[in-house]
Chains A and B, each alone.
Chain A
Amino acid sequence: MSQRAADAVFQGLFSLTDIRYILRTTAPQHKLSDEEKQKVEKALASVEKQIAILRGELL
């Protein structure tokens, strides 16, 4: 059982969900403010981190 891998899957999906929500609130032009760009940066960093965890845990 890899709790770490399961956590990483959920955390990664949750971070992508944050980006999805920003797509919604900025539709249709998706011109992001500085604050929104920061949020996307943070979410992407989280996704990358979770992917690294998954590589380590499962491959």
Chain B
Amino acid sequence: MSIRCGGNCNVEARMRDELAINIDPIQVGGRLTPEAMKAIIAWGDGYSVCDNCRKPFRLDYIENPPLKDFHADVAEWLGMAQARTVPGARRGFQQVAEAYVEKGDPVLIGSLAHYTSYLSIEGRCGVIREIPKTEDNHITAEAAAERIEDVIREFGTAPKLLYIDQVDYQFGNIHDVKGIAKVAHQYDIPVLCNGVYTVGIMPVNGKDLGVDFIVGSGHKSMAAPAPSGILAATEEGAEQVFRTTKSSGDLTGRTFGLKEVGILGCSLMGAPIVGLLASFPTVRERVNHFEGELSNSKLIVEALRSIEGTKILSEYPRRHTLTRVDTTNSFDVVAQTHKKRGFFLSSALSKKGITGIIPGATRIWKYNTYGMTRAQAEYVAATYLEIAETNGLAVNK
């Protein structure tokens, strides 16, 4: 019988990560540190972090818990002038789009971008123009330059903003953000770097990349609860996206101090912000050990590659732990005749205590090895080989 979260509530205790190795591409980087789990026990109540909110009544000025220092530390860590928390990366995209994009304005976007990037432009009635990917699924500075020229020809003006993923969610490929930013700046186009799969996972420095904005995700890559994220900006960019209210009520004359318009005042309270805060020392340190994560990733990639018919669709050798794989000519061949059909793979993995791939997926699927111990990586690699051999697939050891 499953354990429920007490009283009359109909919520089961979730034990996915206690009982199995999770390889869900979107979940692994957002799993909480023990510090975050403890902080949430203590600070999970709704407006808890507002206990000590004093003038000027803004989240990033609160000193206990140390949110003021946290905001400054995050900005410095990312090589940017200022940072704010946002309720998820998508709200960061939205905040930047709101500052720069007006109706009919062209905006350039890498064609591997997440749908929320597109929607943030649509929300401003901007006109989306994509930068095409290369055959090997990269967004390049050359392609960005060509598309900027295309936009100028079409609209008579350069794009108002350019979005580029540092690592995309489809292949986990690393893109030339620095080169793209250099090209964009030749046309005075501000650049938003989507660091959802990098901030909190691997070293990221906005100054080195030369970007105007970095957006990170707390719940995807910074060991924090959802919804949480970071929007960091250069000094010039900050003036646009973090502008403070100037309005007043026409009858009452009410004004609203230093509240920021883009995020409607304060962004995160309670569990999301204390989780982000409590995990930050670990997150700041863990990015320096990304090579170890890649080493674990390599172990599993090589195991999969050794199964005849399996192809790695992501760039190879891997430079990120999120990987897209094609098993149409291996596991899917088994699925054609297996009594569980396409569900045999997720079922076999589940029996061995591995979870996180979409049930039924045996053709093209993604996984993420981030956060595994070495022993867990070895176990996952061995399990894939075992499943392959058990089902009659050839393994080239």
Contacts and interface: CB of A to CB of B under 8 A. Distances in A.
Contact of B18 (A13, A18, A27, A29): A27
A41 to B, nearest CB: 17
A28 B37 contact: no
Contacts of A18: 34
Given A27-B353, A28-B352, A29-B379, A17 B38 contact: yes
Given A17-B38, A20-B37, A25 B20 contact: no
A27 B20 contact: yes
A28 B354 contact: yes
Contacts of A17: 34, 37-38, 41
B376 interface: yes
B118 to A, nearest CB: 35
A21 B34 contact: yes
A14 B38 contact: yes
A6 to B, nearest CB: 10
B353 A29 contact: yes
B19 interface: yes
A35 to B, nearest CB: 12
Contact of A14 (B19, B41, B373): B41
A13 B20 contact: no
B326 to A, nearest CB: 27
Nearest to B41: A13
Most buried by B among A10, A17, A21, A27: A27
A25 to B, nearest CB: 5
B48 to A, nearest CB: 14
Contacts of B352: 28
B20 A28 contact: yes
Contacts of A10: 41-42
Contacts of B17: 24, 27
Interface in A1-33: 10, 13-14, 17-18, 20-21, 23-29
Most buried by A among B38, B41, B353: B38
A24 B42 contact: no
Contact of A20 (B18, B353, B376): B18
Contacts of A13: 38, 41
B41 A28 contact: no
Nearest to A9: B41
A25 B17 CA distance: 9
Contacts of B31: 24
B74 interface: no
Interface in B297-342: none
A27 B41 contact: no
A28 B18 CA distance: 8
Interface string A33-53: 000000000000000000000
B224 interface: no
A24 B18 contact: yes
Contacts of B376: 25, 27
Nearest to A18: B34
A28 B353 contact: yes
Given A18-B34, A27-B21, 10 more contacts: A10-B41, A13-B38, A13-B41, A14-B38, A17-B38, A21-B34, A23-B18, A24-B18, A25-B376, A27-B18
7 contacts: A10-B41, A17-B41, A20-B34, A21-B34, A26-B373, A27-B20, A28-B353
